[in-house]
Amino acid sequence: EIVLTQSPGTLSLSPGERATLSCRASQSVSSSYLAWYQQKPGQPPRLLIYGASSRATGIPDRFSGSGSGTDFTLTISSLDPEDFAVYYCQQYGYSYRWTFGQGTRVEIK
């Protein structure tokens, strides 16, 4: 099973600042089968990024994903007030298992 470790656990930033979230895999993630999700309180997760760097439908271009192998990054170029939420990375389908990281909370400083 691929274990995903996200850092930091919590990120305290102000609106307009840049957010950089990290996701490290215990082994290489094949063909960049790595996704990022956003979850706000009381809501289901929403797909932001798939294939490590492709934005999902309707996702603003301030969200970008990068990385390969075992190290991946989600960047929010300029935080909007609606971006304060929990973010999860996910690897999909390796050995017919899907795993999520433990999440990074982005909170208002």
Partner 1 sequence: EVQLLESGGGLVQPGGSLRLSCAASGFTFSSYAMTWVRQAPGKGLEWVSSISGGSGTIYYADSVKGRFTISRDNSKNTLYLQMNSLRAQDTAVYYCAKGSAYSGNYCFDYWGQGTLVTVSS
Positions in the binding site for partner 1 (CB under 8 A): 30-31, 33, 35, 37, 39, 43-47, 50, 56-57, 88, 90, 92-94, 96-103
Nearer to partner 1 among residue 13 and residue 47 (C-beta): 47
27 near 2, Cβ under 8 Å?
yes
51 near 34, Cβ under 8 Å?
yes
* 78: number of Cβ within 10 Å: 12
Nearer to partner 1 among residue 46 and residue 62 (C-beta): 46
- In angstroms, what is the minimal distance from the CB of 46 to partner 1? 7
Handedness of CA 43, 55, 35, 95 (dihedral sign): positive
- Can you read off the two tokens belonging to residue 96? 């017919």
Nearer to partner 1 among residue 45 and residue 69 (C-beta): 45
Cis peptide before 15 (omega within 30 of 0): no
- In angstroms, what is the minimal distance from the CB of 9 to partner 1? 11
- In angstroms, what is the minimal distance from the CB of 15 to partner 1? 25
